[in-house]
Structure 1
Amino acid sequence: MLTSTITSTSAVSSAAGAISMTTGTGLPEYGVLAVIALIALLSVKEILSASEKWSIDLNHSLNMGIGPLLLAFTAIVVFKVAEIIY
């Protein structure tokens, strides 16, 4: 597994002392929204599949939203596990 951690450090001297700022690259903090959207779409798909409104077109439409969110969820899990391990 290849993970990349890039940090940039900046230090500014002033009369009061030095200030250090570090930023890390990775997944944005809004990953929770992607997980919530994935859960919502999966719930809607499950509920609608049992109703009379279900059609193959509706199935394909929901899958177009679920697929990328599932990929994002997988990436979030992998990065969080890698963050804990390393």
Structure 2
Amino acid sequence: MLTTVVSTTAVNAVSSATTTAAGAISMTTPMGLSEYGVLAVIGLIAFLSAKEILSACSKWNSNINCMLNMSILPLLFSFAAIVIYKVAEII
């Protein structure tokens, strides 16, 4: 049992050393926004459009208003962060 654990550990050590020697592994992440920021903007537009359309409907009530506001507010903060970052990137 002990020899199996030792041999497995040795094989793992050799394979990880080989992997590291074969190619450089970067431990840094690039600064910037994710490419999924566009989805947040599209979601914000969709929720704002839905709120505008549903507010004219006869079924409009405070529960629908609250639900849409809870969806819109985080997306609005994300949109503001995206705009600020893009402007700072240009400057």
Question: Shared fold by TM > 0.5?
Answer: yes
**2:77 matched to 1:78?**
no
Structure-to-structure mapping, 1:1-86, within 5 angstroms: 23-85=29-91
CA drift of 1:30 comes to 0.5
Q: CA RMSD in A?
A: 1.8
Bigger share in helix = 2
Give CA deviations for 1:35-75 in whole Å, capped at 9, x if unaligned: 00000000000000000110001000000000000000000
Moved over 2 A (4+): none
Matched position secondary structure for 2:60: coil
For structure 1, list consecutive stretches of 5 or more residues without a partner in the other structure. Answer: 1-13
Higher RCO, 1 or 2 (CA under 8 Å, sep at least 6)?
2
**TM-score, structure 1 as length reference:** 0.71
Percent identity over paired residues = 64
